[in-house]
Amino acid sequence: MKTTEIRDLIDFISKSGLNEVNIETKELKLSVKREPDQKVFKSTPVMTQAAVAPVAAVAPAATPALAPKAETAAPVAAGKKTVEIKSPMIGTFYRSSTPDTPSFVQVGDKVSKGQTVCIIEAMKLFNEIESEVSGTIVKAMIENASPVEYDQVLFVVEPD
Q: What is the pTM for the complete model shown? A: 0.53
* Tens-digit pLDDT string for the chain (160 aa): 677 777 777 777 767 767 677 777 777 777 776 665 544 444 444 444 444 444 444 444 444 444 444 444 444 445 579 999 999 999 999 999 998 999 999 999 999 999 999 999 999 899 999 999 999 999 999 999 999 999 999 999 999 8
Q: How many CB atoms lie within 10 A of CB 145?
A: 21
- From the number of C-beta atoms within 10 Å of its C-beta (0-12, 13-18, 19+), residue 54 rates as exposed
Residue ranges per domain, the chain? 3-42, 58-159
Task: Determine the 3-state secondary structure of 144 from DSSP.
Answer: coil
What does the DSSP assignment read for 32-62? EE--TTS----SS----GGGGHHHHHHGGG-
Yes or no: domain 58-159 corresponds to CATH 2.40.50.100: yes
